[in-house]
Amino acid sequence: MDKTPDICPHTLTNKNLLALPIKMKNLLSLAVLTIQFGCGQSQQQANAKTVTTMEPAQHETYDTTKFNTNDRKTLAAFYTRRSIFDQYVSEHKSNLFTCPGCGYPTLEQRGSYEICDVCKWEDDGQDEKDAHKVMSGPNHELSLTANRLQIGQVLANKADSLKSAVNLDPAYVLQALLLHKKKQEAIAQKMNGTEKPNDPLWQAWAESTKVLHIALCRR
Ligand SMILES: [Zn+2]
């Protein structure tokens, strides 16, 4: 199923983005998904899911019997990461919340359809309890589990390519996230809502996410 931004009730947290016309916000939603996930789930995700539930809602669930060693390692890294950032925002009385899709402290509220800057998960409130389920909401065919595996692998691959490791220092990470947000605010302010997906501004938008991922994988 394609994502249909027109019906996505998500909001973007940045005030400038919120001020953009609806069409622009829809474009933002579509673009970040296209950029991050190539217009939908990966084949790996598609292959990894099977219909196993007998519950009334008939949600598809991620087939956890197909977890391999690397998947378990990736999920363990997610839980470690989220625990570190949960503890940090709690101790520092931060107003941020960790994203259920990647574990980074990217959300200003929970369940408000914010799109995570790191993994592009749209926060509809789904979390641990239903992590394996495909809820068919704003994230369509993606379960949280599949999302966690995907972004975890992206970061692990990036860290490997940099001969480094994912940086879990909260102060460093928060600084990188703030810098990224400022870059995207500057790009958004130059947009007027008519840009095509191949517009240089959208390319700059995509590039800023790549730069963020690199920053998160440097120590
Ligand atoms: Zn995320």
pLDDT at residue 29 in the model:
47
Contact 147, 101 (CB under 8 A): yes
**51 Cα: distance to centroid of ligand 1 (angstroms):** 25
pLDDT at residue 59 in the model:
79
**118 Cα: distance to centroid of ligand 1 (angstroms):** 5
Count the alpha carbons within 13 Å of 137 in the hemisphere toward its beta carbon: 17
pLDDT at residue 171 in the model:
96
**154 Cα: distance to centroid of ligand 1 (angstroms):** 12
**119 Cα: distance to centroid of ligand 1 (angstroms):** 4
**115 Cα: distance to centroid of ligand 1 (angstroms):** 8
pLDDT at residue 181 in the model:
96
Nearest to 67 by CA among 168, 149, 178, 130: 149
pLDDT at residue 64 in the model:
87
pLDDT at residue 56 in the model:
54
Query: Burial, 210: exposed, middle or buried (Cβ in 10 Å; 0-12, 13-18, 19+)?
Result: exposed
Which residue, chain included where needed, has tokens 């975890």?
Answer: 152
**117 Cα: distance to centroid of ligand 1 (angstroms):** 6
Reduced to 3 states (helix: H, G, I; strand: E, B; else coil), residue 50 is strand
Q: What is the pLDDT along the chain (219 residues), one digit of tens a residue?
A: 433 333 233 333 333 343 343 334 444 444 444 444 433 444 444 444 444 444 455 678 888 888 999 999 999 999 999 999 999 999 999 999 999 999 999 999 999 999 999 999 999 999 999 999 999 889 999 999 999 999 999 999 999 999 999 999 999 999 999 999 999 999 999 999 999 999 999 999 999 999 999 999 998
| Separation CA 158–CA 132 (nearest Å) | 25
pLDDT at residue 79 in the model:
98
